[in-house]
Structure 1
Amino acid sequence: ILPAELENSNNFQGFTDFCHTLPLSRGKEDDEEEDNISGEFKGSFRVYPLPPDPNEPMPPRIFETLPPSDPEECLVRIYIIQATDLQPSDPNGLADPYLEVELGKTKMNTRDEYVPNSINPMFG
């Protein structure tokens, strides 16, 4: 377990992202305090002018070094140690929590290994 965020860990070289997050607004901006942000776009795009002469080479692309976006097989490990202050779901004010994880088309759960009568279960 790392003692700090990945962004602050030397092992991850600052864990920076080439993408930018831009707010997506709906409607017109007005002076009212009501927020019209409806979502976020995370990505990056650039607009380059084309050379006047079509025989000139195209300007260099900024994303030439990106890896291909083909699917890549990988192993994902998830460690869930403890849950705290879960919402009670039983009449006695407690719950019978279990873990459920979904990643892509894969879904796994520990329903058969639930922790009885707890809202602060230890899983690991």
Structure 2
Amino acid sequence: MTHSPTLTLTVRRPADSIAVLEVAGEIDVDSVPVLRSRALELIRQGSPHIVLDLAPVEFCDSSGLNTMIGILRYAKDRYGSLSLAGAPPHLARLLDITGVGHLIPTHATTAEALRRIGVPDGAPGEKEDL
């Protein structure tokens, strides 16, 4: 588990090349460096397909959206992908209004995102303590 004062990240790996990064708390200018560095580290470690589980997100500002776009670009440069899952209503609206939801695939649940990537039955995988 990776933690900042306003953000907690938990990783699980349902398949070799896929990591689910559960994001809890606030995604803002102070916490995005933690999110960015952890996601890019997972990609460098051999999980180029990242699913951000956003269900526990309480707040997200424009720096969070910009970070998601940066993670997407980094993943695509390494033949990977970024998917968003479980965005709460306030974040889903922000993704829709800004167009980020059209740029990055969004799904109602993590299991749905995993199925779209090709993980059978949206396998949950094991959590990693960081």
Query: Scaled by the length of structure 2, what TM-score is found?
Result: 0.19
> Which structure is higher in RCO with an 8 Å CA cutoff and minimum separation 6?
2
Structure number with greater Rg is: 1
